[in-house]
Amino acid sequence: MIGARVVVAVGAGLAALVLAACSSSEVPAPPPAPVLGWVVGDGCASTPERIRADADGLVAHGVVNAGYRTLYVLCDDAERPAPLDDRALHGYLDERGLSMDVVSTGDEEIASAMAADTDLPALRTAITRHVMGAEPLVFTGDAALLDPAHIATVTNAQVLAVSQDARRTAGAPIGGDANRFSRALGSQGLVVSLTNDDSTAREMSIQIDEVNLAGDDSVMATDVWTGRRIRSSGGALTVLVASTDSALLRIG
């Protein structure tokens, strides 16, 4: 019996060691996807009616369906205004797939919020920089007042797919150039951005060996902003970029 107890004890110990080893080798959960959000209301003076109206505008223009489901109300008051805790309001938002947070103007995600009504080239560039940095996409502005071109820009499905890619790693400058970035996607994907901060349009390029690709004239890319397909030539991918605008090239 003593021998049996020893065997059982040893077996239990080995099982515990195996379980511990398995636990220690588990792959950690990836960080959450960057938030897609929108600033709504009138700050601390926001009323449930105003927030409902802003939410309705986002729903009506397809912004919510695109993935923007976090609403932010800016308020630096020490005490949270009672109207923002209105149960009926939160139920109304929940029915539309939305959640609402009351945050200070110094909140990290709000600090990088973009004006959705800025001119289109600058808007594309702002979004591109956030996407390449794996940063949240948070906007300010009344969606009901945006024209179709601006709505199409902030809801571009291919751009949002890059933003929400399962590989959450931020990109890095190519050759130390802050206007040329590369970012790895998934297990083998790659996206490259080219930003023109000149006052006139110009051709911009990346040499394919700068991003560890091979095949002088066989590398294909898609500018996800325009849908245009581009083939490398002479060992480079080249695209015309308008002033203050950006190209976002998904390789493959």
What's the domain range around 195?
172-251
181: confidence class by pLDDT, cuts 50, 70, 90: very high
Q: 191 — alpha (psi -120 to 50), left (phi > 0) or beta?
A: beta
DSSP string, 201-249: -EEEEEEGGGGT---TTT-EEEETTT--EEE-BTTEEEEEE-TT-EEEE
Report residue 64 as tokens: 């919510």
Same domain, 215 and 192: yes
- Per-residue model confidence (pLDDT) at position 165: 94
The total of structural domains in the chain comes to 2
pLDDT of amino acid 4: 46
Asked whether residue 222 is domain-assigned, the answer is yes
3-state helix, strand, coil in the chain (%, to 5): 35, 25, 40
Is the same domain home to 195 and 244?
yes
* Cα–Cα dist 143/51, whole Å: 12
Q: Give per-residue pLDDT as tens, 200-251.
A: 999 999 999 999 887 667 899 999 999 999 999 999 999 999 999 999 999 9
Q: For the chain, what is the total number of helices (H) and then of strands (E)? A: 7, 13
Both 144 and 239 in a single domain? Answer: no
Give the count of alpha carbons within 13 A of 214, CB side only: 0
Query: Where does residue 38 rank: exposed (0-12), middle (13-18), buried (19+ CB within 10 A)?
Result: buried
Domain co-membership, 64 together with 140: yes
% of residues, the chain, pLDDT over 90: 69
